[in-house]
Structure 1
Amino acid sequence: MGKDNYNLDIDEYIICEEDTAYDTTKVLFPLVTIILTNKKLIKLSKSMLGKVKEYNEFELVNIKFINDEPAVYFKREMGNSYLRVLFNDNELKVSMPSSVVGQAWADNILAIVNGDVQDIEYNVSEAGLADQLTDLMSGVGDIFGAFKGKGYSDEKRPTKITIKCDGCGAKVTGSSGKVIRCEYCGTRVSL
C-alpha cells in the first residue's frame, strides 16, 4: 500500500512506519503496520497474502489528556515492548519490535502533540537502526581500508551537497544521492 492509499491530506507527511508491530487487542496478536504522520496514526491489519483487511485512523488531535499530559505510554512488560495511545473515543495498543523503536515512537507522538517538531526522529525502525549501523561500519571500513591502501578513491566517496528545499526554500545539506526530509517543512528532498 503506497502513500497515496493512506488518505493523507496535501499538507500531511509520513514520519515513520513500522510493519513488524503486533495488535495486542486481537486474539493471536496479528501482525500490523502502523504509520505515524504529522496529523494521525494509521493501523493496517493485513491478511496472510498481504491484502489490507482493516484500516484504522487515529487523529492526533483526539489524544486524551490525563492530568494535563498526553496519554501516550511506552513500557516493557514480560519481555515485550508496548506502545499505548489513548484517544477520546478509542485506543491504540501494539507490541513493538524493540524497546528502542517503541520508545522512539512514543517520543515522536509526544513531540508532535506538544509541538516540539525539532525533536522528531524520522524513519524509526529496526531497519533504520541497521542502516545507521551499516553506515557507521562502512565509515570504519573506509578508515581501515585507507591504511591498507583500499580506501575510497575521491571519485567513489559520497560528497556533501547543499541545495534549496522545494517546499520552503531553506538550505538542505546531505550526501549526494540520498533522499532526506527538510527539517523546517518536512518535504522530501533528493540530493
Structure 2
Amino acid sequence: MAKYNLEPSESILIQSTGVLCEGGGLMPGYTDELILTNMNIIHVSKGMFGNTKRVQKYPLNQVKIINGEAQAIMGKSTNGTPDLQIYFVNGQVAFKFQSSGKKEIVKYVNEISKVLTGNESSRKSTANQFAIPGAEMVAETLKDTVNVFKGTFGIKSKSKAADEPVRVTKKCIGCMSPLTGTKGQSIRCRYCDTDQIL
C-alpha cells in the first residue's frame, strides 16, 4: 500500500489494490490503489513498475446526496463490466476492481453511504443491477407452470407452500349454488343444508 498521511481525525475504512481508474491513461492497467477513509476517497495512481505517479484525494463531503442516498453506485463501464461510480458536486469518477469486483463495489457503496447518511445504501440496484430485465417474472411463470404440471400428475411438492390450505370453489351437489372453502373441508350448503366435502 502507498504511504498516505492521514488527518488527525481520519481513519481508513477500506483499502484495495488492483484498481483501475476509468479514463486513466493510454495503457491502463489494474495497478492503482483505492483507499476509503471516513473523510476522503484516495486514489493512488501507480506506474507499470509500482512507482507512485500521483495521489488524488476526493473529499467525501463533496459527494452528492439526493433523496437521502449518497451518489456512489454500482454501474456499468463502457465494456459492460461493473464499476464503482461516484458523483461529486463538481464531477464524477469511476473505478473498476481486478478481483471480486461486485463484492468490492458493494462494500465501497455501503461504506460511503454509512459515512454520509448513517445507513447502508438502500438501492436494490447494487445487488440486482446486472439482472436481465424481466427475468424475475419469467422465473415466477416457469415456477408456476412446473407446479401446475406437478399438480396434474399428482407429484407432491416438498416446499411448505404445498402444505398450505388450497382455496376452492365448487357447486353444491344438492342445489348447484356456489360453495367456497379450503380443499378437503366439510361444509354445509347455506341454501339447502346439504353436507359435502370440497
- TM-score in terms of structure 2 length: 0.52
Alignment counterpart, residue 101 of structure 1, candidates 77, 83, 104:
104
**What's the offset of the Cα at 1:65?**
2.7
Tell me the residue number matched to 1:42: 42
Q: Which amino acid aligns with 2:112?
A: I
**What's the offset of the Cα at 1:48?**
1.8
For 1:7, what is the secondary structure of its paired residue?
coil
Deviation sequence 1:96-131 (CA, Å, 0-9, x none): 232111111111111111124xx6xxxxxxxxxxxx
For 2:23, what is the secondary structure of its paired residue?
coil
Can you give the 5+ residue segments of structure 1 that lack an aligned partner in the other structure?
120-191
For 2:36, what is the secondary structure of its paired residue?
strand
Q: Which amino acid aligns with 1:15?
A: L
Tell me the residue number matched to 1:12: 10
Q: Which amino acid aligns with 2:22?
A: T
Cα pair 2:87 2:93 within 8 Å, conserved: yes
Cα pair 2:11 2:38 within 8 Å, conserved: yes
For 1:109, what is the secondary structure of its paired residue?
helix
Tell me the residue number matched to 2:73: 73
Is residue 112 from structure 1 mapped to residue 115 from structure 2 by the alignment?
Answer: yes
How many Å separate the matches in 1 of 2:91 and 2:18?
22
Alignment of 1:174-189 (within 5 A): none
Q: Where does structure 1 differ by over 3 angstroms across 4 or more consecutive aligned residues?
A: 76-79
For 1:108, what is the secondary structure of its paired residue?
helix
Cα pair 1:19 1:32 within 8 Å, conserved: yes
Deviation sequence 1:3-34 (CA, Å, 0-9, x none): xx423111111111111111112233333100
**What's the offset of the Cα at 1:93?**
0.5
Tell me the residue number matched to 1:54: 54
Alignment counterpart, residue 24 of structure 1, candidates 13, 22, 25:
22
For 1:6, what is the secondary structure of its paired residue?
coil
Q: Which amino acid aligns with 1:22?
A: L
For 2:16, what is the secondary structure of its paired residue?
strand
**What's the offset of the Cα at 1:68?**
4.6
- TM-score in terms of structure 1 length: 0.54
Cα pair 1:76 1:99 within 8 Å, conserved: no
**What's the offset of the Cα at 1:76?**
4.6
- Calculate percent identity across the aligned residue pairs: 23
Tell me the residue number matched to 1:91: 92
How many Å separate the matches in 2 of 1:75 and 1:22?
14
Larger Rg: 2
For 1:33, what is the secondary structure of its paired residue?
strand
Cα pair 2:34 2:44 within 8 Å, conserved: yes
